[in-house]
Amino acid sequence: MFTSPNGSAPEAGNDQSQKDKPTNGSQGASDTAEHTCTNLSTSLNPHSRRKRIVVGITGATGAILGIKILIALRRLNIESHLIISKWAEATIKYETDYSPKNVRALADYTHSINDMAAPVSSGSFKTDGMIVVPCSMKTLSAISSGYCDDLISRTADVMLKERRKLVLVARETPLSDIHLRNMLSVTQSGAIIFPPVPAYYIKAASIEGLTDQTVGRVLDLFDLDTDDFERWEGWKRAT
């Protein structure tokens, strides 16, 4: 499924119903709707489009990180393409106050995890990278082995083969030798492993502060500055 961008009307022939459209003005995300690509030929021109990042949310704990990434991308005017796994939907409902529908409404485009014909599944669809956040060990294993059994692993595989930036916010502890070998394998293939390790030096007053710091550091890798977390500037707190 490929939904229409914010503020644009569906193409002629697109049977997306009114019930698929969220009430907050963003596009909807019906798992049964056919994907429709609007102005694809124009979007493929890197000089005529916004920066474009794919976000994959898997079932590992830490769903709020993916949600905060989407919020930051919207604020930075970055075109976001979202893929949510089945277990990510369950984790979102369990760990946060968001519903999967609310999360999808944060993205410019959403794609069904099962839609292997989505635009992001092809290297000819230009993107500026992908963030899998959080990244489960199952998804890491699939990416490491090139086993593209869903749209998240397929899109990650596209990033590697096209030499585009792929950041995996791997969420697991402790790590087995299998996990470590998979991390080494994808790193050698060009991916970046980013464990969401708390930065205690900022002395955050809340979990939200630690989350914002992690989100900011992830987006730093794409040369995007959220400007809403404290950066290390030396031992100023100790003097």
| 139 marked among binding-site residues | yes
String of DSSP letters for the chain: --PPPTT-PPPTT----GGGS-TTSS----TTSPP--SSHHHHT-TTSS--EEEEEE-SSS-HHHHHHHHHHHHHTT-EEEEEE-HHHHHHHHHHSS--HHHHHTTSSEEE-TT-TTSGGGSTTS--S-EEEEEE-HHHHHHHHHT---SHHHHHHHHHHHTT--EEEEE--SS--HHHHHHHHHHHHTT-EE------GGG--SSHHHHHHHHHHHHHHTTT-----SPPP-SSGGG-
Q: Angle 137-145/151-161 helices, nearest 10 degrees? A: 50
* Inside any domain, residue 76: yes
Of residues 25 and 50, the one with the higher pLDDT is 50
pLDDT above 50: residue 168: yes
- Mean pLDDT, rounded, for 215-220: 97
- How distant, in Å, are the alpha carbons of 100, 133, 219 from that of 182? 29, 17, 23
| 206 marked among binding-site residues | no
**Domain extent for 136:** 50-229
| 137 marked among binding-site residues | yes
| pLDDT (tens digit per residue) in 70-120 | 999 999 999 999 999 999 999 999 999 999 999 999 999 999 999 999 999
| 85 marked among binding-site residues | yes
* Inside any domain, residue 197: yes
Please, which pLDDT band fits residue 174 given cuts at 50, 70 and 90?
very high
pLDDT above 90: residue 33: no
* Inside any domain, residue 64: yes
* Inside any domain, residue 138: yes
| 127 marked among binding-site residues | no
Among 93, 107, 88, which residue's Cα sits nearest to residue 171? 88
Q: Check residue 83 and give its pLDDT.
A: 99
Q: Check residue 190 and give its pLDDT.
A: 98
Please, which pLDDT band fits residue 46 given cuts at 50, 70 and 90?
low
| 60 marked among binding-site residues | yes
Number of domains in the chain: 1
- Mean pLDDT, rounded, for 192-199: 96
Q: Check residue 18 and give its pLDDT.
A: 32
* Inside any domain, residue 81: yes
Q: Percent of the chain scored above 90 by pLDDT?
A: 73
* Inside any domain, residue 2: no
| 59 marked among binding-site residues | yes
Among 115, 24, 119, which residue's Cα sits nearest to residue 74? 24
Among 206, 213, 211, 207, which residue's Cα sits nearest to residue 229? 213
| 123 marked among binding-site residues | no
* Inside any domain, residue 42: no
- Mean pLDDT, rounded, for 173-195: 98
| 217 marked among binding-site residues | yes
| 171 marked among binding-site residues | yes
* Inside any domain, residue 208: yes
CATH of the domain at 192: 3.40.50.1950
Give me the residue label for tokens 């429709």: 36
Please, which pLDDT band fits residue 41 given cuts at 50, 70 and 90?
very low
pLDDT above 50: residue 193: yes
| 109 marked among binding-site residues | no
- Mean pLDDT, rounded, for 131-142: 98
Phi then psi for 79, rounded to 5 degrees? -70, 125
Of residues 91 and 41, the one with the higher pLDDT is 91
